[in-house]
Structure 1
Amino acid sequence: MYMMLSRVSESVARFLAIAGGLLLLVIVVLTCVSIAGRALFSAGICCGPIRGIYDYTEIGVATAIFAFLPWCQYRMGHASVDLFKSAMPDVMNRFLNVVMDVGMFALAFLVAHRLWLGMLDKQRYGETTLIAQVPVWIGYAACLVGAVGFVMVAAFCILRSVRALIKHENLEEGQI
């Protein structure tokens, strides 16, 4: 059962990270096309920049950031202070991993919950971006996909760190 949950968590995290990376590539291409269009327009050759490129970039980058969070959590890549780690016994370090994973789960859940409420609020009031007039709730919904993945992976990470505590296994950052 644990191995299946590990594979599912890793697959979700990997899929979201790859999707976030591809989204960033699309944003880079759109930005380059917009810049080229602006330059060519001033020369009288093209139709101009992409209208609302700032809006699309803002939504896309936020979505990509949320898509990367589950992978970072799964790989134990979040920032940590290892000042006293070498001086503490292994059991204490494993216990602190459990505490940190519970804290990350709580944070992930809180962020996902607030994104959900924000999305409903933006949808209810029909707020749109300034230039492209894209409904703002779409950006919230896109970010919510990564946030829900973050919650799922963070829940698994609690299980993983509790298992390591009980079985006296050491988990190494980035070696998962």
Structure 2
Amino acid sequence: MHRLMTFLARTTALAGGLVLMGLVILTTLSIIGRTLNKVLHGPGIQENFGGIAQALLATGVGEIQGNYELLEAGVAFAIFSFFPICQLHGAHATVDVFTSFLPRRATRFIAAFWEIVLTAVLILLSWRLYEGMLRYVNNGETTLFLQFPVWWAYAASFAASVVTCIVAVYCAVARVGEAVMDRTILPSH
């Protein structure tokens, strides 16, 4: 079972990482295009290199239209894509100032409790994401510039959130098992 969870978490994280890299490239190209457009419209360039500047501007040099829409949708997907690997490895931020002096078994019960709470929150988020997706499917809303349906971004994020919920339930059950049996079940990385 752990191999399956590891595969799901890594695959989802890889997809999120690829999307994030694509967004970095898109944003970089958009910034370069916007900057180049400003430079080409500058008075010094227009006076000295007007013909070349106009020819370059005619090619459409400038900010990539809809880059904010893609950035918004892609970052949401990437965030949900990284949750499963973070959950599986217990890599969420923790503060153990008040629990570090407790016996190991007590800290395992505390960890199990918070794992259950986090799993419940992630399931709630996934459910609300699904409801939001259905709302946008039914109303047919599209983005302003690219005109792609808003629900597509919700669907991609929802798919990643389903993997998150599966991994979170697995981790919660494992943490409860660790607390009850007082032994490590999930391998540490």
Residue number in structure 1 paired with 2:129: 115
**Mapped contact 2:86–2:92 kept (Cα < 8 A):** yes
Q: Give, in angstroms, the shift of residue 134 of structure 1.
A: 2.0
Q: Structure 2: where are the runs of 5+ without partners?
A: 41-52
**2:4 is aligned with 1:11:** no
Secondary structure of residue in 2 paired with 1:18: helix
Residue number in structure 2 paired with 1:65: 79
**2:167 is aligned with 1:153:** yes
Deviates more, 1:124-133 or 1:18-27: 124-133
Residue number in structure 1 paired with 2:20: 24
| Amino-acid identity (%) | 37
Matches within 5 A, 1:1-176: 5-42=1-38, 43=40, 44=53, 45=56, 46-48=59-61, 49-170=63-184, 175-176=188-189
TM-score, normalising length: structure 1: 0.89
TM-score, normalising length: structure 2: 0.83
Aligned alpha-carbon RMSD (Å): 1.8
Secondary structure of residue in 1 paired with 2:141: coil
Q: Structure 1: where are the runs of 5+ without partners?
A: none
Distance in 1 between residues matched to 2:100 and 2:64, nearest whole Å: 53
Q: Give, in angstroms, the shift of residue 41 of structure 1.
A: 4.0
Residue number in structure 1 paired with 2:48: none
| Equivalent position amino acid for 1:158 in 2 | A
Deviates more, 1:160-169 or 1:5-14: 160-169
